[in-house]
Amino acid sequence: MDTQTQDTRGRGKNKRKWKYEEDAKLVQVLLDMVNLGLYKAENGFKPGYLNYVEEKMQAFLPNSGLKAKPHIESRIKTLKKDLHIVYDMLHGSNTSGFGFGPIKKCITAEKAVWDSYLQVCMIFYGHEFIYFYIEKALNYFSSL
């Protein structure tokens, strides 16, 4: 990424499409942090964790140009949001009919189940964001 793009701030100005291997390494680094005790269960990661993650990502992927802010911070937020939505779909009290396909690694459901869920989402959220999860590969869901 060029310097001008990196320095441009503001909503939507510094978007980055993450590659599969970048996601894989990010999840690996986060899981390693948890396993090494660099994680506090009651209130999340300790202060400074983003710098630690950036250093580890640079070691694994030296030419990626990933920075703690905004790239890694934003991606963790997105992964967290995805995890909560998928967890709710699979384990929520009002969401029977959903499953997780281990081969495609995506949410599975009959069309009628999706249609019903989409209607509820439109009422509560006012948009069709959930279409994003139909056939979306969620490679790291089982790890998280």
Q: Note the pLDDT tens digit of each residue in 92-125.
A: 876 788 888 888 888 888 989 888 888 877 777 6
Task: Give the range of the structural domain holding residue 103, as residue numbers without chain letter.
Answer: 18-133
What is the average per-residue pLDDT within 44-50? 83
- Asked whether residue 143 is assigned to any structural domain, the reply reads no
What whole-number percentage of the chain has pLDDT above 90?
Answer: 24
Closest CA to 98 of 65, 35, 58, 141: 141
Q: What per-residue confidence (pLDDT) applies to 54?
A: 96
Which of 83-87, 119-123, 129-133 bottoms out in mean pLDDT, i.e. has the lowest?
Answer: 129-133
What is the average per-residue pLDDT within 40-69? 87
Domain tally for the chain?
1
- Asked whether residue 144 is assigned to any structural domain, the reply reads no
φ and ψ of 40, to 5 deg: -110, 115
Cis peptide before 70 (omega within 30 of 0): yes
Average pLDDT in the chain: 80
What is the average per-residue pLDDT within 67-80? 91
d(CA 73, CA 140): 17
How many Å is the Cα radius of gyration of the chain?
A: 17
pTM score above 0.85: no
For 15-44, the pLDDT digits (tens) are: 788 998 999 999 999 999 888 887 665 677
- Asked whether residue 7 is assigned to any structural domain, the reply reads no
In this predicted structure, the answer to whether residue 66 has a pLDDT above a threshold of 90 is yes
Q: How far is CA 80 from CA 5, 44, 74, 144, in A?
A: 25, 12, 10, 9
What is the average per-residue pLDDT within 120-131? 68
Q: What per-residue confidence (pLDDT) applies to 50?
A: 92
Q: How far is CA 48 from CA 6, 44, 68, 69, in A?
A: 21, 12, 10, 12
- Asked whether residue 78 is assigned to any structural domain, the reply reads yes
- Asked whether residue 46 is assigned to any structural domain, the reply reads yes
- 10 forms beta bridges with none
- Asked whether residue 42 is assigned to any structural domain, the reply reads yes
- Asked whether residue 13 is assigned to any structural domain, the reply reads no
Closest CA to 76 of 33, 42, 106: 33
Which residues of 48-128 form beta strands (DSSP E)? 99-101, 106-108
d(CA 57, CA 61): 6
- Asked whether residue 119 is assigned to any structural domain, the reply reads yes
Question: Which tokens sit at 137?
Answer: 């590969």
Q: What per-residue confidence (pLDDT) applies to 3?
A: 38
